[in-house]
A and B are shown apart, each in its own frame.
Chain A
Amino acid sequence: MQLSKLDMDLLEAVADLKKVPQGALNIRLNGVPVMRHSSPNISVGPNQDGSGLLVEIKPGTKNETVHVPVMLTQAGLQEKVYNTFVVGENADATIVAGCGIHNDSHVESRHDGIHEIIVRAGARLRYAEKHYGEGNKTGKRVLNPTTVVTVEEGASAEMEMVQMKGVNDTLRSTVAHIHARGSLKIIERLLTQEDQKAESDITIYLEGPGASAQVLSRAVAQGDSYQLFKAALIGRDACQGHVECDAILMDNARIRSVPEIQAEDAEAVLTHEAAIGKIAGEQLIKLMSLGLGESEAIDTILEGFLR
């Protein structure tokens, strides 16, 4: 199957792909898989009940990537998909997910993606997920990702979730269980504009000794948009966790940030930091004194902040 120019542009926006990549892959377009292949170490196939994908990365696999982008270009399409990813023991792999919606109509398009990710003992996972929407009419572009991650003993996962433009409504829910000596880092970057709404709800259970978690959230809210960020760390053993959320507020936007830490073991070290503010006037002045115009200076600051 050939992908159209529109499909390719969307693919680039969500997965930084200029062409269809080699290796393990599943491209889902308008509710159906249009391209799928496995590699010797990564099998990509339907899950048991046919509600989505099962991606299995063999134990010991080194430096491989699987791409599973989702695109919706058919106006009004609404779908719910269940995907499972298993990263085998001591494997080292990257999963590039991401969803792009092109909706130039007056009806709502929606993708609800439910991901279960299991990172087996000693494995290392990098997970990147970009969300993007485009279209000029009133039809909303809605993305509701749910992610459940298990990080087994001595394993590590780094997850980067980014939503930059064009998504009207999002409710992202992330739950993680981290076992002994496992570590998880979540980086979330969100930009909302106009009357968009974004809610992110992260809950991390640190279940074993030496488990660690770090959540870094950077948010920019412009126009009349609204963001709600909730992050809870629950420490059940001698563990370490830190939540940091930093937000820039512009125009008439609103941001609510609710960090929560809960310790059930005296050896748990949990901390949080949260700050919301406008663009620092000092930074603006500094960049203008280097010759940038005001709007150029604002863009530079926001770009850096969300990088």
Chain B
Amino acid sequence: MLKLENIQMQVDDDSGEKFEILKRIDCQFEKGKVYAVTGPNGGGKSSIAKVIMGIYKQSQGHLYLDGEEISDLSISERANRGIGYAFQQPPRFKGLTIQNVLTIAAPNADLIKVRTSLRDVGLCPEDYLDRDLGAGLSGGEIKGIEMAQLLLRNPVISIFDEPEAGVDLWTIQKLLKLILSTYKGNPNKTAIVITHNENVIPVCDEILVIAGGMIDAKGTPEQVWKLIKDDIECKVRNQCQGEISYAIK
């Protein structure tokens, strides 16, 4: 189980002032479950993922993996303890082929598994394995390769950051199904899917709504999904202004 305890995170803004991005995040992610993390743009979803991966350092609070504190571990140490993150905006590399990167992601995977991971994200291995991960790939392709790395790595905690962005409709349905079937009820694994996808959110085990650097709502789809829908409808009709609030605490 991954536990975040009173996590706060701040950055320096342009004028050198502290700017608070995560205010107070308390939550836990259990094995065998798929979590949907959603909420408005800029709410802090990716920041939470980066704090879990060790890319951002929390200014306060603690992280525990299976009861052991990991708050001060480096990115590599967390990766080797079983945390994996598919970036929302993956970087490009000059001179590394897709096969190179997949081999780094999972040094022990055989070629059959490597190929399967590409097929799972809708990319034909013959066309892609030897291609450079630099310029020349579309945003959707880069995104697919990013997710293939995580699927292949198959860590204990897998965080997918907006897998649907830029990925075609055919592939994304298949991929989301794969994520649900791989992780749901799997006693050793947890998936955290940051997503806006209306088909996925209601079928996850739990939903977290992140807004303004805080958890605005959390619970089962039955508890949270209707509130989200109502709120969206209300926004569309322009009847309510200001911050989203779901009143579930």
Chain A residues with CB under 8 Å of chain B are 246, 280, 282-283, 285-294, 297, 300-301, 303-307
Contacts and interface: CB of A to CB of B under 8 A. Distances in A.
Interface stretch (B3-11, B91-99, B120-128, B202-210): B91-99
B94 A292 contact: no
A294 B76 contact: yes
Given A300-B104, A304-B100, A291 B80 contact: yes
B181 interface: no
B104 A290 contact: yes
10 contacts: A289-B53, A289-B75, A290-B79, A290-B105, A291-B80, A291-B104, A294-B74, A304-B96, A304-B100, A306-B95
B140 interface: no
A289 B84 contact: yes
B183 interface: no
Contact of B79 (A280, A288, A304, A306): A288
A282 B91 CA distance: 6
A289 B90 CA distance: 12
B149 interface: yes
A300 B90 contact: no
Nearest to A307: B95
Interface string B50-85: 000101000000000000000000111001100011
Nearest to B159: A289
Contact of A288 (B76, B101, B149): B76
Interface of B: 53, 55, 74-76, 79-80, 84-85, 87, 90-91, 93-96, 100-101, 104-105, 149, 153
The 6 closest A-B pairs by CB, nearest first: A304-B95, A282-B91, A288-B75, A304-B96, A291-B79, A307-B95
A283 B91 contact: yes
Contacts of A246: 94
A307 B100 CA distance: 12
Contacts of A292: 76, 104
Contact of A304 (B80, B93, B105): B93
B73 to A, nearest CB: 11
Contacts of B90: 286
Contacts of A282: 91
Contact of A286 (B80, B87, B95): B87
Nearest to A297: B76
Most buried by A among B75, B90, B95, B104: B75
B96 A288 contact: no
B153 to A, nearest CB: 7
A184 to B, nearest CB: 22
Nearest to B78: A289
A289 B79 contact: yes
Given A287-B104, A288-B74, A290-B105, A300 B85 contact: no
